[in-house]
Amino acid sequence: MEGLMVHAGAKKFGRQDLLALPTPDPTDTHRPIAHSAIIQALIESLAYRNLEVVRDEYALTPDSMRMFGFLEINLEESGTRFALGVRNSHDKSFALGITVGYRVFVCDNLAFHGDFMAVSRKHSKNVDIQEVIAVGVDRAQRHFEPMKKQINAWQGHELPDIQARNVIYDAFIAGNLDAPRHLARVVHQNYFEPEVEEFKPRTMWSLSNAFTSAFKKLEPVPAMQATARLAAFLPTVQ
């Protein structure tokens, strides 16, 4: 399986590799939290809720200032495994965030239920990372059931070809989805000429995976951001 896609701007790391990464010195108003500490707190919070991480992958920018992680858990539904996405930055480029997502088995696509939920506005010197992560996991866990229902509904939602074309047009040409316009052709080909047997039915599920397959051509963090925005876009065109 392809796993977390990495291109020119980032590099893949394993969980143990995170331990060796440097963390910037704190200031009076900002205390960077080690990427490894974020992940360890997340794994412990999941274990407390009887959720086991069965696969995890990480990507970092070349300066290691920004990290994105994807942690699959032992919860499955209709050919997918649910997961949490987490991001952390040392350079204040974005807040610590957690979101719920899933990986599609047959094509190794990633998708998210929505944009990253900022669980801490800033890394202040008084932040309790265990408490912050617990709040984020609780918020994400509440999305599991809605995601199950969405997956099953999209798998049974047939689309006329003209509607699928209109969705792709609205996303990229009309600019209703914040994603690179050059991917429109890729999404079109993925949907109308699918390489995966499971995506040959003309359904909302196949169209969703046509988008997420195209997003794998992006660098990791932009790809995750695009899939998160897709979750908000697609329900508006049904």
* DSSP type of residue 149: H
Same domain, 21 and 75: yes
Domain that holds residue 212: 152-237
Q: The whole model's pTM is what? A: 0.83
Same domain, 139 and 156: no
Give the per-residue pLDDT at 204: 96
Question: What domain count does the chain have?
Answer: 2
3-state per-residue secondary structure call for 167-181: HHHHHHHCCCCCCCH
Same domain, 52 and 168: no
From CA 58, how far away is CA 18, in angstroms rounded? Answer: 9
From CA 55, how far away is CA 222, in angstroms rounded? Answer: 21
Residue 4 lies in a domain: no
Give the per-residue pLDDT at 122: 60
Residue ending a domain, among 143, 168, 185, is 143
The tokens describing 126, both together, are 């008084």
The tokens describing 197, both together, are 């047997």
Same domain, 49 and 18: yes
Summarised one tens digit per residue, pLDDT across range 78-120 is: 999 999 999 899 988 888 889 999 999 998 888 888 888 877 6
- The mean pLDDT value for 167-189 works out to 96
Q: Does the pLDDT at position 139 exceed 50?
A: yes
- Cα Dmax for the chain: 58
Summarised one tens digit per residue, pLDDT across range 188-212 is: 999 999 999 999 999 999 999 999 9
From CA 222, how far away is CA 72, in angstroms rounded? Answer: 19
Residue 79 lies in a domain: yes
Residue type, 50: N
